[in-house]
Structure 1
Amino acid sequence: MSSTSATGIATGAPTPADQTSATMIARQAIVNAQHLVIGYELFNRSRPEPTHTAATDVALVFTALSHAGTDELVGKKLIFVNCTHESLVGGHLELVDPEKVVLEIPPLSHAASEEVAARLPTLAALRARGFHLAFNHTVLQSAYNPWLLLADYIKFDLSLLAPDQLAVLINYAQRHTQADLIAEKVETAQQYDMVSSQGVQMFQGYWFARPALVRAKLVSPGQSSILELINLVRKQASTEQIEEVLKKDAGLAFNLMRLINSSGFGLAREITSFRQAVMLMGLKKLFRWAALLLTTSRHSGTPPSVGQTAVVRGRLMELLALEKKLPQDETDQAFVVGIFSLLDTMLGMSMETALGLVSVPPGTEVALLHNAGVLGHLLVLAKACESGDDVAFDNAATSLQMSSQQINNAHLQALAWADHFAD
């Protein structure tokens, strides 16, 4: 399998070496009864830790589709990716075509009926949007009955299940669901014969294919270009103006064109111009993409933890705004305030100077400069959550009329969600 080119596809000019980095993504085929590949499960093999052997979040899909070159990685097949429940919320899922993605949903640590019921609306909404949902065999337990009708796929791990137990579960799944059944960890001909004789029609494991590595090249755009793009999007600038920014930064152009032309974006034909890309993506998605690109830039000259903290703040403030039932535009601005709250550190200048580079609404500017207004109070609260300052936390919580439980739950969700954008 060939490596993905790291050249700037928009201009044809080579990308400077110090603007590129590599991510190792593995894929393992999932085949049908005719041994034809119907999809690939993706794994992140960039990290050295032995415990990190699989993709644990849908951010891997975003990385793969934006940067890896989808034809080399998965072609037109389905993408199976492991998720956490925290990774199922957030704007990054808007950046892929749901019809191409199978979200593998893990069981809960405690399958209490109220927890199962609490997750149901999120899962149902994802499936209604077109995502396929896969579960492991635990979804057949009575506690998970509310989820069972949402299952497009049920996976059976042959390394965990005894043959008699497996037969019972397969029979139950065939009688009570419409899901396609997948046997995984199939390593011998005997295992294959056993599950296929019981009616299983899809298979994954070393008997068919071992995970294959793909070295994905990531091209880092300049921060000034990302800021200029954000600035124009916030002003609702013309397509022509946005197009000019893309023309000036090969890294920015490369990432956008990779994403828009990936199979995960679901377009029937290749997009060859920036104008088409901008119009198809839309300003809202373009802003979310650029904001996350800014905070995860590897070559910003600041520690990666700074961008990670900004993402946590943005998501935490967004969640708190939702808790307070603020209007949608204020909820969107809460995310902006949080993610821009470390612009001064990321850019090495004062916040006033940094805001001179970015177009933001007056309420956002007041919040960032003076901690004023409801957005400013949310920012103070987000900072208090980081610092462990109990007095500041209590004062901010009181002013916002929010309980410690509401805030702590939102903070845990934000930390988990933001972790999916860390390398």
Structure 2
Amino acid sequence: MEIDVLRHIALSYSPMVDRNRAVVATRLTVSALKPGSALQADELLQAIAQVWPEGGARVSLNIMSETLLNDLMRAKPLPNVMIEVPSFIASDPANIPVMEQLRANGNTLLLHGRPASSLPREVLPCFKYSIIDLHDDRRKNEAPGHSEPGVTRSIGFIQSGVRTIAEMEASFGRGALAILGWPIEDVISTAGVKAGQPDMGVLVELIRRVDAGEDVDKLDAVLKRDPTLAFQLMRYINSPAFGLSVEISSFRHAIMLLGYKRLKRWLALLLATASKDANMRPVMFASVRRGIFMEQLVGPSGSEEMRGEVFICGVFSLLDRLFHKPFDELLKTIPVPEAVYQALVDASGPYQPYLELARAVETETAPVINEHAEHLLMSLAETNRAVLATLTSAGQLE
């Protein structure tokens, strides 16, 4: 069924990451293509419920339209839907009853931004967390173990606007429960070559051998060098997202059912998620979602071969950072299709626009996302459906 609201908004997503570098929720940002346009909150909640059903994982809604947010707060969202409420809306006494009702419904409310004046007393219990942008954080320069005079926080806070590892560590040092987004570029530049390299080496060798069509026994012998990797592979292949009707109990069984092309796809996925460095977990999160999203964009209009290639393109799009090598050097050892090579090495070719759109939905708002979608002759509705399908599939892999 067509959901009309998806034609008038752009969806983008980012992780909510705790101090253990675990992704504890997804932040879904909803931007209106035309500010002030009438949008159906119940339709948006219907679309969201397909990805985050009642009793499932949590999603934090960052609604950029005041009208849509006001309507959504009154539309009875599921309890696992967290709602970010800007301070100016929270300060309005007219909104007290609806915020109290949301709290009674089990929804978590997050106060977004520092209020210009004290909130009404009745409102304070409605908020479990606050979202404080690093730029506006009055405690950002305090020394560890010391509190800034006159700055007290009665509820836990989540930090946004973090751009570097140092800022992230400082935020957690000040007591942040989580950060929004992830400083991918800085994580990669400061990580160094750490644990996880043996896994990656085995995976690269497996991909080479699969690409060459070597005998199953030779592939099995390589995999047995890393039992942890073998477990990971079985876990992914047996996940609901893979869509198999029987449980796969061995690597040989996997190859018999899957064939080499499909196996190579999942080895590529594991290659992007092999690092044991905790700071790399959100980078892996981004890689997997890029691959799934690009595959969803191609959809039924693309051939099976094209869907597989754009998936690998997205999953591999951060490998240069994970391996600390430029793509032109890295892809000498990892065989990829020519169109994937063009996108990753030369920022050109037929898959480059899909990769640009994948990057846009991680950080940008409606006009930018719409511009990239139009370049691919895609509508916002098609793009949004791909975003929601991506988050559904990615959730099944976790």
Question: TM above 0.5, one fold?
Answer: no
When the two structures are superposed, what TM-score results if normalisation uses the length of structure 2? 0.44
When the two structures are superposed, what TM-score results if normalisation uses the length of structure 1? 0.42
